[in-house]
Amino acid sequence: MAFVLADWSITRNGAALDVRYIGADHTGAASYSTTIELHRGLQALADDEVDTGNDELSIIDETPSDRGGADTNISLINGCNIDDASSQFIYDGSITQAAGATIYDGVQVFGNSSNIQVIQNGSRVIDDFWNYANMKTAVSDALSSTTHRFLIKVRSGGVDIDGRRLLGTQRELGTVYTEFFIGGGTNRGNNVLALTANSDGNNQTAGATIATWDDIVNDNQGYNAITIGGTAYNFYSNWELGTRSKNQFYERAKWIQTRVAGIGVDTPARDADQSLYGLPGDIFRGITHEIPIDTATGTMVQPESLSWTETGVVSTGQLLAINSVTAGTIMWIQLLSGIAPTDGTVITGNGGGTVTVNGSVTTRLVPSTFVGTSTGSAINPGAFGVGIGADDLTQNDLVVDLTNTPRTPPNNVTFSVNNILEDDYIIVANNNAGNFDFAQLLTNATYNTGAVTSFVTTTPIPTDIPTSGTFRIELNTGSYKRIPYSSFSGSTFTTPAQDMTGVNAATAGNNLFITYIDKVATAGDETATFVSATYVFSSPRTLFTRVRNAGTGVNTAIKTFETTSVSGAAGGSATVGRIDDF
């Protein structure tokens, strides 16, 4: 386009010369000028005999602008100036004014993105005027794959805004997220942001649908251990998926991070109040730096805002995890503004606690989606430090703990009993000739006291059972008592306190067998039409299922259903045949 004089006013303001855009706004027939067109327009007016109309610039005035050796580097001089609102209608270069005290630098976006965000000084630039359709049409260039060109203020009052650093993000649901960092500070002219918006085949669910998946939750925002394959590893989150699939978790993560309504684009992709670790979702990126620390004072809080001064620059970050809130030796943060701290720098938390950097700070790579990538059925590879609940992990997932070590989970499989109704009693155990394997294990001690909290067997407990569940122990009366266990290790089950006195006594050598499912179905189970158990697969196991309903509750009686099923590397199931028993 060209500099359209009718869309601009040039007014003397004491010693200043105010150049202001007065044309149609971005939603109307706006006109956009390149920096060189603005310069040439001003120079064309400056050689007029007299000023007229909106133009108070003529031959008697000092030179208003100067071309700094390139068409994309223009200086407004001798009091000539633009304001922030007018800068929105100029592109393709830099504008310097007030003897360098104010700088608007140019940004050129390459790729195929439609809507982008700019993060400056730790915050999203809310007025994303560059996303208006009219402006994109006016400044785009298909031959060079340029989608956006605009100016952004990077220096004000003689001080650079966050060292002129900018982060561009493309977070549109349905696309592969991308980001590009201008980390060394912008230069005069056009600064590149490479932001693509290629289709993401694993993210095609509508945002309104994803918004309802609120059973996906992060149980722990901070340093925590997750046991994978019998070993505890540390992460900075513990995501539980509820009833959702791994790919739905991936989509939910993208929904939390996606852009929100701005000025240029007024249709929000999600609610603006979604946040992670005390940061807005569209600002959150994940761990950017791992910092060794010592000399702790007070208490650090997970999460909280952090600040420090490095080479005279006040910088900020967000604490995502620390291995001890009172005596930490290592912490993990997201850098928000400024530069990373170095050895000896004191970091202060918002709550007043402090730590001192003790050694070299490690920069961590940040994926465009904080959980990593999805294969459609698994998270692989996972992002640094992102933990997923052990019961939701499968052998196809790959998570990376806070030591930057990939951890491949064991094969968690599920055995389910389908077509159940409320008041059905379902019991599933190891099979022995079409019945329960009553002698699967034997007790190693006599239990005849109150408050028993552990039960020991003569041989190791099989590892391919639920991490917590139930077993049945043979009492001396011949009955089998159902006992829940919270964990097991070696030959020992850990249980809530059990009264084993009197008729509940069990002598050493009595039978004990594990029940994968052992419960009465509830109304909630009926809604799902199945009950299930999850365990770590070791080898194929034949399970025996028995289901009974005497018809005394809300549902009619059925004949006893019994079957055997093989639970293999992909799990297994049994479907109840419901034959009325009147």
Give the range among 299-303, 412-416, 572-576 with minimum mean pLDDT.
412-416
Mean pLDDT throughout 89-113? 98
Q: What is the pLDDT of residues 201-232, one digit of tens each?
A: 999 999 999 999 999 999 999 999 999 887 89
Residues 6+ positions from 489 with CB-CB distance below 8 Å: none
Q: In the predicted model, what is the mean pLDDT of the chain?
A: 94
Is this model's pTM higher than 0.85 or not?
no
Q: How many residues does the chain have?
A: 582
Which of 54-63, 172-181, 221-230, 386-395 ranks highest by mean pLDDT? Answer: 172-181
pLDDT of residue 390: 87
Question: Are 534 and 413 within 8 A, CB to CB?
Answer: yes
Amino acid, res. 298: G
Choice between 246 and 272, residue whose per-residue pLDDT is larger: 246
pLDDT of residue 268: 62
Locate tokens 């609120």: which residue? 214
Confidence of residue 54 (pLDDT cuts 50, 70, 90): confident
**217-218 and 239-240 beta bridge pairing:** antiparallel
pLDDT of residue 271: 66
Q: What is the pLDDT of residues 145-178, one digit of tens each?
A: 999 999 999 999 999 999 999 999 999 999 999 9
pLDDT of residue 263: 79
Confidence of residue 553 (pLDDT cuts 50, 70, 90): confident
| CA dist., res. 456 & res. 444, Å (int) | 6
pLDDT of residue 524: 86
Nearest CA among 284, 318, 285 for reference residue 300? 318
Check whether 233 has a pLDDT greater than 70: yes
Confidence of residue 411 (pLDDT cuts 50, 70, 90): confident
Q: What is the pLDDT of residues 260-309, one digit of tens each?
A: 877 777 666 666 678 999 999 999 999 999 999 999 999 999 999 999 99
Confidence of residue 576 (pLDDT cuts 50, 70, 90): very high
Question: Are 89 and 23 within 8 A, CB to CB?
Answer: yes
Neighbouring C-beta atoms of residue 473, cutoff 10 Å: 23
Check whether 139 has a pLDDT greater than 80: yes
Nearest CA among 172, 176, 13, 163 for reference residue 83? 13
The secondary element (H helix, E strand) that includes residue 560 is strand 558-567
**Whole-angstrom distance between the N-terminal and C-terminal Cα of the chain?**
85
Mean pLDDT throughout 235-242? 97
Mean pLDDT throughout 185-200? 97
Mean pLDDT throughout 95-111? 98
Amino acid, res. 534: T
Question: Are 46 and 61 within 8 A, CB to CB?
Answer: yes
Give the range among 186-200, 235-249, 260-274, 534-548 with minimum mean pLDDT.
260-274
Check whether 556 has a pLDDT greater than 90: no
Instruction: State how far the alpha carbon of 504 is from the alpha carbons of 451, 477, 518, in Å.
Output: 12, 8, 19
Nearest CA among 47, 42, 167 for reference residue 97? 42
Residues 6+ positions from 403 with CB-CB distance below 8 Å: 233, 234
Confidence of residue 429 (pLDDT cuts 50, 70, 90): very high
Nearest CA among 31, 105, 5, 17 for reference residue 65? 17
Collapse the DSSP code of 424 into the 3-class scheme (helix H, G, I; strand E, B; otherwise coil) and give the result: coil
User: What domains lie within the chain, and their CATH numbers?
Assistant: 5-105+123-164 (no CATH), 289-363 (2.40.30), 414-575 (no CATH)
| CA dist., res. 82 & res. 51, Å (int) | 19
pLDDT of residue 69: 84
